[in-house]
A and B are shown apart, each in its own frame.
Chain A
Amino acid sequence: MSFILRRISTTKTGKQIVRDQPLPGASITLGRDGGNTIHVADLAVNPQHATISSADGRHVRVQASEGLGFDLNGRTLDTADIDSAAGAELRFGGHRLTIAREGENIILLVERIDELSQSSKDVDEARAFSLAAVMPGRRMGAWAFALVVLLAFLVGPIWAWHSYRGVDVRPQGYHADKAWLSGPLSSAHASLKNDCQACHVDAFVAVTDKACVGCHTGEHKAMSASHADASTAMLLAARHPPGVGEKVLAGFAKAFNKPQGRCVECHTEHEGAGPMPPTPQKFCADCHDGMAARLKAAGFKVDVADAGDFGTAHPEFRPLVRARRAPNRRARCPARGHWSIMTA
């Protein structure tokens, strides 16, 4: 029996050339040092790494000499007894030693299986040099972010609205549709800040007067009999002709189903904490300046004179005779139909 060292080299065309070299003696050495029987030029192999011997010409004993050991079947060992007929694969650093038997001989095949260095490995140039190699994909990030935002700010609020449909008062706590709050509520409505549905009852339906009159009963009546009696159609006809901006807004309103003449058009909400913005004097004049002609044109009976400004364009106050009871001396504003105490 003898050990035969087999080396396989591959030509440029891919053809393999096998060279066998008989090794003398029953014990041979393996290592990085040039003096070894099997010289393995591998930095991961010690200068005198192992001794390979066979007492009976069939069983092979591999003994590591400098403590680094070798790998066999996934384990790192210092000593191993191998039946060459069964064969084995041992690993020394980046090399593989295959032990096999052919006839009377024990064949030792040594091959480099690892790249010489990490940098020698093939790289995909487009990926390796780019940030893509160390970052999660942009596409995945895009979908993940979009999904999170949609869940938190669209699905969540709609779910909150859906869960409390038909519920009079929502329980305390956070409701997801709070994220839709476009601005703080006025101090009068501050208690409703957790209950969007108190006013926004139905989805995609603009806040109706019904939501207001649930709490507010007779506000306009206390202020003015004329406004309380006036129909919505009459109030709409009384308003001043729209400017360019208002035509745009009316266009949006019409296109997206927002009826005109609702309470919230003058009594605007979500304009900031504090008292609700007052409906300014200009709002009176908005209708009463040149209103008579507009009402007449719309086919309403006109019994008030035009008023453009309290100071400069207001009809004279005149006494009002009431048939039933007049507890104070009062004069009636012919434009607004409200009562004012005469100071003179």
Chain B
Amino acid sequence: MASLFPRRLLGRRNRATQTERVRERKHEGFLRYANFRWAKISGGLCLLVITSYALIDVTPRANGGSWYGYTLGTIGAGLILWLTALGYRKRKMTRDAWSLKAWTSAHVYLGLSLVVIGTWHTGFQLGWNVHTLAWALMMLVILSGLYGVIVYATLPAALSNNRDEMTQMQMLEAIRAFDRQLHAAAQPLSPEDTAPVLASLDEDPFAGGIRARLTGRYPKDATAAALRALSLAHGGNADARQKVIGLLSQKEAALARLRAHLRIRAMLEIWLYVHVPLTFALIAALSAHIISVFFYW
């Protein structure tokens, strides 16, 4: 092998792998990757843009069509396309210098620098037109990304607490077990008492739309309704009913855990439903913005 690759190249690669191992041990996430390298680069870039904007006197007034505006616009458009490439890049994982972690770190910090590059490119001239649409879409994409970074940094702990060392499938399995026990325990009940239990069994634990997923509120929950109905019921087999009530409240607790899990996962995922589609809308608006400038040159 050594004859196939120059020794120098192999040495560099080994060093890179070693540094990576140290990072793995210290669990260095994409935010603090390489001692905030990309945060520094991005911050420097923003500072450079802001100072040069203040120092350069563009006549008659600052706008995207000045030489300074073109420069920022070209950098911004290039950056947007590169940032979009993360979607492609993340499907190909590598471990060396341009690891996915490094790439993600650069994506986050350079993406944030676009707030300055894009806004200063406009020369603070905004209006109801395709140019401002592109800017607004860019800002929405950045804001949704910022939300994503914040939830990735804070929510996994909540997810882990809620799981209590159970896997997702174990959470579901717990509900299935209560369902089986409920089905057996409810056999002696009268038809009036079995109806709410049956409704609870027929309820899909994953039912509920995006609203229920995000709020964790399920006002039409059949298990809670069954619990209420059976607690108020009289007559019939009271012992069997008490047993069913006990099982229903246990099922309700298991459901609550699963739903809390679904809620945290929804909050971890929802931003991508804004970030990704709006990125493509942004690229479309950006194309229209650039083409329109040259079309009516």
Contact = CB atoms under 8 A, between A and B. Distances in A.
A149 B285 contact: yes
Interface stretch (B16-24, B40-48, B67-75, B98-106): B67-75
Contact of A182 (B65, B133, B291): B65
Nearest to A177: B296
A46 B191 contact: yes
A277 interface: yes
B176 interface: yes
Nearest to B194: A43
Given A119-B175, A138-B276, A142-B279, A161 B295 contact: yes
A141 B281 CA distance: 9
B277 A154 contact: no
A142 B280 contact: yes
Contacts of B296: 177, 180, 196, 200
A138 B274 CA distance: 8
The secondary structure that dominates the B interface is helix
A174 interface: no
Contacts of B277: 138, 141-142, 144-145
Contacts of B197: 43
A4 interface: no
Interface string B4-41: 00000000000000000000000000000000000000
Output the residue of B63, B64, B175, B206 with the most chain A CB within 10 A.
B206
A249 B70 contact: yes
A78 B194 CA distance: 21
Nearest to A206: B297
A180 B292 contact: yes
Given A43-B198, A66-B191, A248-B71, A134 B285 contact: no
Contacts of B156: none
A179 B130 contact: yes
A118 B176 CA distance: 9
B172 interface: yes
Interface in A173-191: 177-184
B64 A182 contact: yes
A65 B277 CA distance: 57
A182 B65 CA distance: 9
A146 B133 CA distance: 13
B284 A134 contact: no
Interface stretch (A56-64, A125-133, A233-241, A328-336): A125-133
A257 B273 CA distance: 40
A182 B129 contact: yes
B187 A41 contact: yes
Given A43-B187, A205-B297, A271 B61 contact: yes
Interface stretch (B112-120, B143-151, B261-269): B261-269
B229 to A, nearest CB: 14
Given A133-B206, A252-B67, A271-B60, A117 B285 contact: no
Nearest to A127: B206
A129 B288 contact: no
Of the four ranges (under 10, 10 to 19, 20 to 34, 35 or more), the interface on chain B belongs to 35 or more
B276 A149 contact: no
A256 interface: yes
Given A43-B194, A271-B61, A154 B291 contact: yes
Interface residues of A, number: 69
B119 to A, nearest CB: 16
Output the residue of A46, A117, A128, A206 with the most chain B CB within 10 A.
A117
Given A43-B197, A146-B283, A146-B284, A245 B68 contact: yes
A33 to B, nearest CB: 9
Nearest to A120: B176
A177 B130 CA distance: 10
B216 interface: no
Contacts of A157: 130, 288, 292, 295
Contact of A134 (B208, B280, B293): B208
A19 B292 CA distance: 79
Contacts of B186: 43
A183 B67 contact: no
Nearest to B61: A271
B180 interface: yes
30 contacts: A32-B187, A41-B183, A46-B191, A68-B191, A116-B180, A116-B201, A117-B180, A117-B183, A117-B201, A117-B202, A128-B206, A131-B210, A138-B272, A142-B276, A145-B277, A145-B280, A153-B130, A157-B288, A179-B130, A180-B129, A180-B130, A184-B127, A205-B297, A207-B297, A245-B56, A248-B70, A249-B66, A272-B61, A272-B125, A280-B60
- By Cβ-Cβ distance, the 9 closest A-B pairs, closest first, are A141-B277, A249-B67, A145-B281, A117-B179, A142-B280, A117-B201, A200-B296, A149-B284, A277-B60
Interface of B: 56, 58-61, 63-68, 70-71, 125, 127, 129-131, 133, 168-169, 172, 175-176, 179-180, 182-184, 186-187, 190-191, 194, 197-198, 201-206, 208-210, 213, 261-262, 265-266, 269-270, 272-273, 276-281, 283-285, 287-288, 291-297
